[in-house]
Amino acid sequence: MDRFLFPKWVNKFVPLAIGVALVGAAYGGTVLFVTSSPEILNRGYRPEQPVPFSHKLHAGRLKMDCRYCHNTVEKSSHAAVPPTATCGNCHSGADASGATPYASVRATSVALAPVRESLATGESIDWTRVHNLPDFVFFNHSAHVTRGVSCVECHGRVDKMDVVQVVEPISMSWCLECHRNPDSSIRPVDEVTNLEWGTDMSEEEKRVLGKQLSEELNIHPSTNCSTCHR
Amino acid sequence: MSSIKPQNDKPKYWRSLDQLEGTPEFEQFLKREFPEAVEEAPTGLPRRRWMQLMGASLALATGAAGCRYPEEEVVGFRYPEEEIAPFSRRPEGRIPGKPEKFATTLTVAGQVCPVVATSYDGRPIKIDGNQMHSLVFGADTYAQAMLLPLYDPDRSQHPVFRDGQDLSRNWDEFTVWWKEESKKLEGGNSSKLAILHETNSSPSVLAQMNEVARKFPQAKWYSYDSISGNTTAGTEMAFGKKLRPLLNLESADIIVDISSDLLGSHATQGKNNSEFAKRRTPENGPMNRLYVVESRFSPTGTSADHRLAVAASQMASFVAELEAKIDAALEAGETKEAPTEKVDILVTAMVNDLITHKGKSVVVGGETLDVETQVRIWRINNKLENLGKTVTFVEEPQLARDNAGSIQDLVAELNTGNVHTLIVLGGNPIYDAPVDTDFAAAFDKTRAQIFFGEYENETSKLSTWHLPASHGLEQWGDAIAYDGSYCVTQPLLDPIFKSKDPIQFLSILAGTPITETLEAVKQTVATTFTSSASEAGWMKVLHDGFIADSAAEAVSVSISDSLNLGDVSTTAWRGGLENAFELIFHPGSATYDGRYANNGWLQELPEPITKVTWDNVVTLSPKTAKEIGVGQGEFLAITANGKTIEVPAYIQPGQAHGTLAVGLGYGRKMAGHVGGFEENGVDPVGVDVGPLRTSQTMLLATEVEAKGTGKQFTLATTQDHFAIDLLGMREIGRRVGELVREGTLEEYETHPDFAKHVVHHPPLTSLWEDQEWMKESYDGHAWGMSIDLSKCTGCNACTIACQSENNVPIVGKEAVSVGREMHWIRVDRYFSGDMEDPKAVTQPVTCQQCETAPCESVCPVAATVHTNEGLNDMVYNRCIGTRYCGNNCPYKVRRFNYLDWRASDDRFDAANKELAKLIFNPEVTVRNRGVMEKCTYCVQRIQNTKIEARAERRAIGANEIKVACQEACSSQAIEFGDLNNPESNVAKAHANQRAYAMLAELNTKPRTRYLARITNPHPWLAPEVPDHGHHGPGEEGHGEHGDDHSHDHAEGEHAEHKEEAKEEKP
């Protein structure tokens, strides 16, 4: 049998095929680039939690301070998800004798069943991590909140979220933006958990105040690699 | 013009005989940064072993928790979902993510070690020394490595009953079985019970032993340690009491160490090192002088001002002559004229020094010396009025039952067939009992054997029951330290496996099980130390780890008048062994007596002197090797007591002629997947020398025959790796003197800054310094390090500390032998002088954090960059593994991770792999395969301290940050801190006259400075201080020391030197 050869008329499709390949590659590349960017991957991530805890209710309407629950944020790199005992301060259910404490809130709520179970058994509630960083990044909460960088700078208006979601890209370039020009992200240290703060100020006002505070506190964010990668 | 004269062909300094002789193997190491076939995984048989090794500690130590996400977990492109599991109730004071430290006590290698264990979110990640305790300085190498077994999947996980087959059981089943068994042993039948234990150091364990004895009144007790010394027997004979000597080296001007290895394996080495080092810095007062008389080269030998090699079996003769000479000199006064013969000069100088420093000298005898010799040494000290001054004594605590028999007694008893049940508490007598006792046969004559220990081993495999013991970090307990102080062991976590602590185990045997060991310990405290029994007192004990002021009072001693030490020839030692050989059995540097054979950290740690890893060798002097006709690495057939074993030979310059020395604890067949496990096809590491040890020759065998076999063995030594060479082989000897600089006290006094003038170079200018971006100001912090070579003994504690702190993997023998070891800090060891009587010097080398780092300029992806605080950062997640940086590093301190250990390890199931991850320090990235890594001055500690200090609005203390190697160093040779803070120790050290930078002539501007080593030789034996200003270029390197000092100060000379240097360096 003769060798198989493409018929001549196929030739005119060759430029077309090359064109399609190029356009396809460009399209694929763009899609890959865009979809793999932290902007797309991180922003808007809002996993479901075992207990439908509402920050909007607790931090927003009830005006509870962030540190009531995240009480290690000023001392540790972790802003520790609170132990169930913290929830139990208000939401403890009936005790062994069946008596419910007078101050217990929603002591029989179905949504709070995992909390009561955890309190009774001593087992953890397995929350899903919302804001995540790769293991080679070492972020320290205490280093930021004790220098006047508010929760809101990275986590957004959590006090307005029923379900917490990621609002910032949390990428390295985004971190560096602030590390290079920290002024407009610095506020008085006692206002760090006041997410409302500064909503009535202009950007310029914030920047001027931030600059002044940075000087007072001698804030020079480092951009050395080992600041975050060790 | 060439300045190299023919006599320079023979290097003045050398690292190994391979180098001295210029063998092809060494040449290859010299030529290639990454020697031989590094791209491939090992092939053939070694690969099999390779795979086997990947378990246990290897899986632990390498990238199991890599910095990249495991693929199967990735959801689309996003990070895998992670769960956060907070406590239901968080313990008071616990802050997630903040490490906590607990003082506790481990019994390690026969010694009680007060330690501080760091716990990260409930899991121990590091062990350091407890610096509050008066015996602890820095950290013990073994104690630091005890972290690894905690997470070793090879550790026994549950009780095993062996009745023809291995049956996994639980503790309840054992308790039921024991109830039945103990019924048979009740009353008069209790004589059918025998109990064998190791030396006990715990009062609470003794209390439980007494409980067991109460239940079984006629049970027989035996005690056995494979390695034990004669110190107590010596004091008993000399002073009539069982005593422990405590040295006070700081007040000793003259120290004579007679094979006691004061700074190495000695019982109080931490304290010794610290006190010795305080007297080794000439700027801080008068220096001491150390004479070492030993048979094999020890770390103390490297630190000696004068060292004399005497065969171990002739040490008695040497001590007899020393005593005779001291007696004579005490009568006639010191000798004024130096004798002519070299050994005579040394001995006469020693005697002169001793008698002129009465009450301020000390002669220390090693515990391996025979009792009479030890007594003689105490008598010498008595004559020199040292007792009560430089050496004090405390009484040995009574922590064993009275009349505990020896292993020979036990075997005799077993052979009568009267023993039905044998309980073995720890140890491994089947492996290490004296060969003449035939312990295994006697063991078999019992009906039931119970073995209690952390690991399955040769003994447990033959026992009816194996009961797992808890790790030291999993249990309550107590121990009496060497100085008599009462130390407490507290658990950092519940037992990971179904194990029990010794107190619990004994209480089960006694039929009154204790569930809370804590109560038993508190009981002991309440009965002995009432003041610590209160709640507040107990909290303080737990905080400190020991009861303050509980150390035993020094007792005054008087030497017995009725000593009859017999006649010992005072001249025999001078003749040497002639054609006879002796064989020393010493604790294996990695394995001790075999108990740590499965510890990969220790196995891969180079032996301080030979630098051999993953093996034991028989060391012998070059002359002896020549006589026998054996070469380096050749199997030597050693015959003693009618048995022959073959051990690879290692030619060790400086060893006494005729002395062969071999490490114990190797050749384990049932140690585990690292140390050897024949059942699973894992070959033993090293050779078991047990067959040569009889009851009479546990430490030293004489009448030994040795001959070469012609069979060659590959030894994995690290000493030729990462060779720094400037102009190749011909120059290296001359140049080592530039890397490691040393001089005598006299030289230092004449020219305090001689170390700065060892190398002369043209003015250093940079090609790029004019560039704006090159101008680093370092006006914030400027981190720096200093390493004092006068204090370093090369003990390796820093290497282990770094390994633990920085998640440094171990790689196995095959990888080490091709130069792929991963230690971030290595300890270089150089010999100088005569091959038969060399001097040695050690130098720890780690990343020097060059301000103008050659590695940075060649990285194509900016994975290694400089910080404005002067650190040479390594960004692992950027690294693509070109290894250019490693090639361009003149210090050879960068390490490359060639293989991914986790991918191929299929022997351990997922649960064990999870277990293995727990050892990692979460503050340091776990590096993946294909990534360059290196020291960054423990940047995680710097960052955390900075964050803490700034949160508290305070400045960082001058010496607040301590890096891992610095913490572990018992002689405080390493200092770290901010060079911009003049108060810091490191800034002071950099300003020291002795400070010099290694390879400064390359304009790397290293941040680590070394302080030149100063020795204090006796004037008779001191090399002449180089005559300055007369030598031309060709005359460099004169004198014994050979460190080419050209510290001339005339300007004209300087200029001339610069000219020469220019011509030398193309």
Q: Residue A194: what pLDDT?
A: 92
What strands lie across the sheet with B220-223, from one edge to the other? Answer: B166-168, B160-162, B465-468, B448-453, B421-425, B193-197, B220-223
Strand partners, B592: B588
Task: Report residue B284: phi and psi, to 5°.
Answer: -105, 45
Token duo for residue B187: 């009353």
What residues of B are in contact with residue A171 (Cβ under 8 Å)? none
pLDDT digits over B177-201, tens only? 999 888 888 878 888 999 999 999 9
Residue B147: partners with Cβ closer than 8 Å, 6 or more residues away? B117, B124, B125, B126, B127, B473, B804, B919
Mean pLDDT of chain B: 83
Helix (H, G, I), strand (E, B) or coil at A20: helix
A134–B79 C-beta distance less than 8 A = yes
What residues of A are in contact with residue B875 (Cβ under 8 Å)? 225, 229
Q: How far apart are the C-alpha atoms of B757 and B547, rounded to whole Å?
A: 51
DSSP state of A84: H
Quick check: B338 and B279 in contact, CB under 8 A? no
Residue B988 one-letter amino acid: K
A128–B84 C-beta distance less than 8 A = yes
Helix (H, G, I), strand (E, B) or coil at B699: coil
Instruction: Determine which helix (DSSP H) or strand (DSSP E) holds B827, and give its type and residue range.
Output: strand B826-832
Angstroms from A140 CA to nearest CA on chain B: 8
Q: Residue B775: what pLDDT?
A: 59
Please give the residue that has the higher pLDDT: either B1028 or A187: A187
Quick check: B896 and B864 in contact, CB under 8 A? no
A158-217 residues touching B, CB cutoff 8 A: none
pLDDT band at B720 (very low <50, low <70, confident <90, very high): low
Q: How far apart are the C-alpha atoms of B675 and B662, rounded to whole Å?
A: 17
Secondary structure of B294-358 in HEC code, one letter for each residue = ECCCCHHHHHCCEEEECCHHHHHHHHHHHHHHHHHHHHHCCCCCCCCCHHHHHHHHHHHHHHHCC
Q: Residue B1027: what pLDDT?
A: 57
How many helices (H) and strands (E) chain B has is answered by 36, 42
Span B391-396, average pLDDT: 92
In this predicted structure, the answer to whether residue B65 has a pLDDT above a threshold of 50 is: no
- Cα–Cα distance list, B80 to A41, A129, A157 (Å): 12, 10, 25
Q: Could you say which of B78, B87, B95 has the minimum Cβ distance to residue A76?
A: B95
**Please, where are the H alpha helices in chain A?**
14-35, 38-42, 55, 66-69, 84-91, 113-121, 141-145, 152-155, 172-180, 203-217, 225-228
Q: Residue B1038: what pLDDT?
A: 37
Quick check: B18 and B721 in contact, CB under 8 A? no
Quick check: B474 and B461 in contact, CB under 8 A? no
What residues of A are in contact with residue B95 (Cβ under 8 Å)? 72, 75-76, 78, 80
Strand partners, B455: B155
Angstroms from B315 CA to nearest CA on chain A: 52
Residue B771: partners with Cβ closer than 8 Å, 6 or more residues away? none
Q: How far apart are the C-alpha atoms of A23 and B403, rounded to whole Å?
A: 92
What residues of A are in contact with residue B951 (Cβ under 8 Å)? 74, 142-143, 146-147
In this predicted structure, the answer to whether residue B770 has a pLDDT above a threshold of 70 is: no
Q: Residue B1057: what pLDDT?
A: 40
pLDDT band at B45 (very low <50, low <70, confident <90, very high): very low
A226–B85 C-beta distance less than 8 A = no
Instruction: Determine which helix (DSSP H) or strand (DSSP E) holds B415, and give its type and residue range.
Output: helix B407-415
- Cα–Cα distance list, B723 to B31, B486, B720, B830, B850 (Å): 9, 47, 6, 12, 19
Secondary structure of B926-960 in HEC code, one letter for each residue = CCCCCCEECCCCCHHHHHHHHHHHHHCCCCCCCCC
Q: Residue B730: what pLDDT?
A: 53
B89–A122 C-beta distance less than 8 A = yes
Quick check: B471 and B143 in contact, CB under 8 A? no
Span A38-51, average pLDDT: 84
Mean pLDDT of chain A: 89
Quick check: B197 and B426 in contact, CB under 8 A? yes
Span B987-1004, average pLDDT: 90
Nearest Cα residue in chain A from B924: A230
Nearest Cα residue in chain B from A41: B78
Angstroms from A194 CA to nearest CA on chain B: 19
B875–A229 C-beta distance less than 8 A = yes
Query: Max Cα separation, chain A?
Result: 95
In this predicted structure, the answer to whether residue B773 has a pLDDT above a threshold of 60 is: no
- Within a 10 A sphere around the Cβ of B857, how many other Cβ atoms? 12
Q: Could you say which of A83, A135, A227 has the minimum Cβ distance to residue B86?
A: A83
Task: Report residue B320: phi and psi, to 5°.
Answer: -60, -45
Quick check: B249 and B255 in contact, CB under 8 A? yes
Nearest Cα residue in chain B from A84: B88
Residue of B77, B88, B849 to mutate when probing chain A, most A C-beta within 10 A: B88
Nearest Cα residue in chain A from B870: A224
Residue B396 one-letter amino acid: E
What residues of A are in contact with residue B781 (Cβ under 8 Å)? none
Residue B824: partners with Cβ closer than 8 Å, 6 or more residues away? B802, B803, B806, B808, B846, B847, B893, B895, B933, B934, B935
Strand partners, B307: B292
Give the strand pairing for B995-996 and B1008-1011: antiparallel
Residue of B947, B948, B954, B961 to mutate when probing chain A, most A C-beta within 10 A: B947
In this predicted structure, the answer to whether residue B920 has a pLDDT above a threshold of 80 is: yes
DSSP B723-779: ---SS-HHHHHHHHHHHS-EEEHHHHHH-TTGGGGS---PPP--SSTTSGGG-----
**Please, where are the H alpha helices in B164-221?**
171-184, 203-215
CB neighbour burial string for B934-943, b if at least 16 within 10 angstroms, e if fewer: bbbbbbbbbb
Q: Could you say which of B67, B865, B869 has the minimum Cβ distance to residue A135?
A: B67
Angstroms from B611 CA to nearest CA on chain A: 30
A143–B875 C-beta distance less than 8 A = no
Quick check: B499 and B469 in contact, CB under 8 A? yes
Angstroms from B949 CA to nearest CA on chain A: 10
pLDDT digits over B238-252, tens only? 898 899 999 999 999
| Global pTM value | 0.87
A138–B940 C-beta distance less than 8 A = yes
Indicate the Cα dihedral angle A21, A27, A30, A31, nearest 10°: -120
Q: Residue B591: what pLDDT?
A: 92
Q: Residue B36: what pLDDT?
A: 42
What residues of B are in contact with residue A127 (Cβ under 8 Å)? 83-86
pLDDT digits over A171-223, tens only? 899 999 999 999 989 999 999 999 999 888 888 999 999 999 999 988 889 99
- Cα–Cα distance list, B930 to A66, A229, B825, B878, B896 (Å): 42, 17, 20, 11, 7
Chain position carrying tokens 């008893």: B413
In this predicted structure, the answer to whether residue B283 has a pLDDT above a threshold of 70 is: yes
Query: Lowest-confidence range among A177-186, B401-410, B716-725, B796-805?
Result: B716-725
Token duo for residue B1058: 């610069």
Quick one: what percent of chain B has pLDDT higher than 70? 85
Nearest by Cα to B13 from B1064, B1040, B1046: B1040
A39-98 residues touching B, CB cutoff 8 A: 41-42, 45, 47, 72, 74-78, 80-85
Q: Residue B1066: what pLDDT?
A: 33
Q: Residue B1051: what pLDDT?
A: 37
pLDDT band at B834 (very low <50, low <70, confident <90, very high): confident
Angstroms from B806 CA to nearest CA on chain A: 10
Q: Residue B1026: what pLDDT?
A: 67
Please give the residue that has the higher pLDDT: either A191 or B736: A191
pLDDT digits over B671-692, tens only? 888 888 888 888 889 999 999 9
Q: Residue A55: what pLDDT?
A: 94
Please give the residue that has the higher pLDDT: either B715 or B117: B117
- Cα–Cα distance list, B172 to B175, B188, B471 (Å): 5, 27, 20
Q: Could you say which of A83, A85, A132 has the minimum Cβ distance to residue B79?
A: A132
Nearest Cα residue in chain A from B85: A126
DSSP state of B505: H
Angstroms from A130 CA to nearest CA on chain B: 8
In this predicted structure, the answer to whether residue B909 has a pLDDT above a threshold of 80 is: no
Residue B612: partners with Cβ closer than 8 Å, 6 or more residues away? B606, B650, B715, B716, B717
CB neighbour burial string for B416-441, b if at least 16 within 10 angstroms, e if fewer: eeebbbbbbbbbbbbbbbbbebebee
Q: How far apart are the C-alpha atoms of B534 and B546, rounded to whole Å?
A: 15
pLDDT digits over B493-552, tens only? 999 999 999 999 999 999 888 888 999 999 888 888 888 788 888 999 999 999 988 888
Token duo for residue B555: 């007792």
Q: Residue B989: what pLDDT?
A: 93
Q: Residue B771: what pLDDT?
A: 57
Q: Residue B78: what pLDDT?
A: 60
Please give the residue that has the higher pLDDT: either B566 or B57: B566
Q: How far apart are the C-alpha atoms of B599 and A43, rounded to whole Å?
A: 46
Span B1030-1052, average pLDDT: 38
Span A20-47, average pLDDT: 86
Quick one: what percent of chain B has pLDDT higher than 90? 49
pLDDT digits over B131-153, tens only? 999 999 999 899 999 999 998 88
Q: Residue B910: what pLDDT?
A: 56
Token duo for residue B461: 């495999």
Nearest Cα residue in chain A from B877: A136
Q: At what angle do helices B517-528 and B535-544 cross, to 10 degrees?
A: 110
How do the residues of chain A divide into helix, strand and coil, expressed in percent and rounded to 5?
Answer: 45, 0, 50
Quick check: B587 and B109 in contact, CB under 8 A? yes
Quick check: B473 and B144 in contact, CB under 8 A? no
A108 has a chain B CB within 8 A of its CB: no
DSSP state of B471: P
Predicted ipTM? 0.88
What strands lie across the sheet with B13-14, from one edge to the other? Answer: B13-14, B826-832, B839-845
Please give the residue that has the higher pLDDT: either B318 or B833: B318
In this predicted structure, the answer to whether residue B55 has a pLDDT above a threshold of 60 is: no
Q: Residue A6: what pLDDT?
A: 85
- Cα–Cα distance list, B768 to B510, B582, B761, B772 (Å): 78, 62, 19, 9
In this predicted structure, the answer to whether residue B291 has a pLDDT above a threshold of 90 is: yes
Please give the residue that has the higher pLDDT: either B913 or B271: B271
Please give the residue that has the higher pLDDT: either B14 or B866: B866
Span A13-21, average pLDDT: 94
